[in-house]
């Protein structure tokens, strides 16, 4: 499907996707672009993949640029947003999608430094990026910030303590920012995916995957595209009266943990 064939929910919008070079980030970038947004694809180390996604979008009639930054570093984030302001003059959508690679480590094996690294990327990164975004969006009187976390906050799984802890912090961050930014016309929401099968995260053994499918009312595992569709909802005016929202994207798997 070409960009001219799609519904332009985001026509004229400018979107920044952090960690646009990972699986979910790539799907989000494509989805936003197909809906009319110009996309800034952030990457930290994976420049080749970010550039590949950028080229795919541009060659299919969309508009994308890539930019490398360490979002846990305030100066690096300031440089990223200076580029956005100089190049586009506005920002309508921020997707805080960055996290360290998710590896299974039990609590007794994890050091505080490893905890801190995940918190720095997920929480500090969202803080710095959101602060810059709010500054721009306030002048426009509108904007949407979307934070990606994990549904394991509500039903933890052994071995993912640092990821769940950082995600939990993002819940409080999101809700407080939603309250503070609402009168500026800025909506702040969060998406909590369940198990998503990708090519760049450790795959659970097949018997575990089958168990997850069996416990999921919709009968399958999540995909990066499922996350991207939820992002599109929060990025567009379809969710114009929603802020502080928490959307679980797991095919109903959470229902078995209530």
Residue the block writes with tokens 């009266």: 241
Question: Can you give the pLDDT at residue 1?
Answer: 41
Question: Can you give the pLDDT at residue 258?
Answer: 62
Domain ranges in the chain are: 3-252
Which of 43, 163, 246, 254 is the catalytic position? Answer: 163
Q: What is the pTM of this model?
A: 0.92
CATH, range 3-252? 3.40.50.720
Give the length of the chain. Answer: 258
Instruction: Indicate if 254 belongs to the active site.
Output: no
| Cα separation, 131 vs 80, whole angstroms | 13
Q: State which residues of the chain have pLDDT below 50.
A: 1-3, 5-6
Q: Do 121 and 70 touch, CB atoms closer than 8 A?
A: no
Question: Can you give the pLDDT at residue 5?
Answer: 43
State both tokens at 46: 């994976």
Sheet containing 93-96, strands listed edge to edge, beginning at the edge strand earlier in sequence: 63-68, 38-43, 14-17, 93-96, 143-148, 186-193, 246-249
Nearest to 91 by CA among 47, 62, 129: 129
């Amino acid at each position: 499907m070409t960009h001219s064939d799609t519904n332009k929910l985001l026509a004229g919008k400018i979107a920044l996707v952090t960690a646009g070079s990972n699986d979910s980030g790539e799907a989000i970038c494509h989805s936003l672009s197909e809906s009319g947004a110009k996309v800034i694809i952030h990457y930290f180390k994976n420049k080749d993949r970010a550039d590949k996604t950028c080229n795919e979008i541009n060659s299919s009639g969309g508009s994308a640029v890539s930019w490398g930054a360490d979002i846990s570093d305030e100066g690096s984030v300031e440089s990223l947003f200076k580029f956005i302001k100089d190049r586009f003059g506005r920002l309508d959508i921020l997707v805080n999608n960055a996290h360290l690679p998710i590896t299974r480590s039990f609590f007794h094996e994890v050091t505080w430094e490893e905890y801190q690294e995940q918190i720095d990327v997920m929480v500090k990164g969202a803080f710095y990026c959101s602060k810059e975004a709010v500054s721009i969006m306030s002048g426009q009187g509108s904007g949407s910030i979307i934070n990606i976390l994990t549904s394991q906050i509500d039903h933890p799984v052994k071995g993912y303590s640092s990821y769940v802890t950082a995600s939990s912090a993002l819940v409080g961050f999101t809700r407080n920012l939603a309250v503070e930014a609402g009168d500026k016309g800025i909506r702040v929401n969060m998406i909590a995916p369940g198990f998503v099968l990708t090519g760049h995260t450790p795959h659970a053994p097949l018997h575990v995957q089958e168990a997850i499918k069996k416990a999921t009312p919709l009968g399958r595992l999540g995909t990066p595209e499922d996350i991207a569709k939820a992002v599109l909802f929060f990025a567009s005016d379809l969710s114009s009266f929603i802020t502080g929202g928490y959307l679980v994207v797991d095919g109903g798997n959470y229902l078995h943990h209530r």
